[in-house]
């Protein structure tokens, strides 16, 4: 789905409304209910990508997700022509390289550190999956990425948990919030676009998806989410530099 250009003045801050109603433009394929991993793997098939935050939360999380076939970096490596994983967790990167055998990984702060493969080679996408909600200042973070990679990359892909998720709303109705304790923010498609535009990016499109695996036997639930894409668990946003 896309956000109409009519909302660009609001995203840039040139116009203001305290009751803006944002209507998204649906496209072919928006009715499909897929997992975040499947969506990203499809986008990255045959591409050369940089995966930021490849370690996940920690080594224990990696091992659990591998057993359930939910570890994103593995799925991206299988789909992409080349997938280079970076993370600031040195222990995790060491585990990926020495235990799991991934050679294209590095412990790098992509904003503050120079890294030759990013400068000397050509890449199609930079991916920030489930990273931005952990960052103290997301606008500054994305601005730093844009300064570092503009002219070297064309597209950035961000994914975040969706504040409109049906499961989140159900929890709120019971006076509870279900959240990763390290998250700083909840995002909606509009607020995510606002952050990205303030950082200097242009929003291309959104894909709403499920955070985890889509269970094929959950016929009624899957049918409901096909009709209500804005209430799916994850937001994928594709940006241009």
Query: d(Cα 213, Cα 104) in Å, to the nearest integer?
Result: 26
Q: For the chain, what is the radius of gyration of the CA atoms? A: 18
Residue in 9, 5, 10 with CA at minimum distance from that of residue 25: 5
Could you tell me the strand order of the sheet in which 48-52 lies? 105-107, 82-87, 48-52, 125-129, 155-161, 234-240, 202-209
pLDDT digits (tens, 9 = 90+) for 111-144: 988 888 787 888 999 999 999 999 999 999 999 9
pLDDT value of position 182: 95
| Phi, psi dihedral angles at 184 (to 5 degrees) | -100, -25
Q: Which residues have C-beta within 8 Å of that of residue 12, sequence separation ≥ 6?
A: 197, 198
DSSP string of 184-210, one letter each residue: ---B-HHHHHHHHHHTT-EEEEEEEEB
Domain 30-240 fold is Rossmann fold (3.40.50)
| Phi, psi dihedral angles at 208 (to 5 degrees) | -95, 135
**CA distances, 83 to each of 7, 15, 107, 222 (Å):** 34, 40, 15, 31
Query: d(Cα 183, Cα 187) in Å, to the nearest integer?
Result: 11
Query: d(Cα 37, Cα 15) in Å, to the nearest integer?
Result: 36
Residue in 148, 154, 188 with CA at minimum distance from that of residue 168: 188
**CA distances, 40 to each of 30, 151, 158, 176, 193 (Å):** 15, 23, 10, 30, 18
pLDDT value of position 128: 98
185-210 burial code (b ≥16 CB/10 A, e <16): bbbebbebbbbbbbbebebeebbbbb
pLDDT value of position 54: 95
pLDDT value of position 140: 97
Q: For the chain, 241 residues long, give each residue's pLDDT as a single digit of tens.
A: 999 999 999 999 999 999 999 999 999 999 999 999 999 999 999 999 999 999 987 888 888 888 888 899 999 999 999 999 999 999 999 999 999 999 999 999 999 888 887 878 889 999 999 999 999 999 999 999 999 999 888 899 999 999 999 999 999 999 999 999 999 999 999 999 999 999 999 999 999 999 999 998 899 999 999 999 999 999 999 999 9
pLDDT value of position 189: 98
Per-domain boundaries in the chain: 30-240
């Amino acid at each position: 789905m896309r956000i109409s250009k009519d909302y660009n003045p609001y995203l840039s801050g040139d116009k203001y409304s305290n009751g803006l109603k944002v209507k998204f433009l649906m496209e072919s394929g928006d009715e499909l209910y897929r997992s975040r991993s499947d969506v990203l793997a499809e986008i990255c098939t045959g591409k050369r990508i940089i995966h930021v935050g490849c370690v996940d939360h920690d080594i224990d999380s990696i091992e659990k997700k591998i057993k359930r076939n939910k570890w994103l970096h593995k799925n991206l490596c299988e789909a992409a022509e080349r997938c280079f994983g970076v993370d600031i967790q040195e222990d995790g990167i060491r585990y990926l390289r020495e235990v799991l055998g991934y050679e294209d990984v590095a412990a790098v702060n992509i904003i503050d550190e120079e890294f030759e493969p990013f400068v000397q080679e050509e890449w199609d996408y930079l991916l920030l999956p489930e990273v931005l909600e952990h960052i103290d200042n997301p606008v500054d973070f994305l601005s730093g990425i844009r300064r570092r990679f503009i002219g070297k990359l064309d597209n950035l892909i961000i994914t975040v948990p969706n504040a409109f998720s049906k499961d989140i709303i159900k929890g709120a109705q019971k006076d509870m919030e279900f959240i990763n304790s390290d998250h700083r923010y909840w995002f909606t498609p509009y607020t995510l676009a606002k952050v990205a535009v303030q950082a200097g990016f242009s929003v291309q499109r959104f894909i709403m998806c499920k955070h985890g695996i889509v269970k094929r036997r959950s016929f009624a639930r899957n049918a409901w989410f096909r009709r209500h894409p804005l209430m799916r668990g994850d937001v994928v946003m594709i940006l241009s530099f």
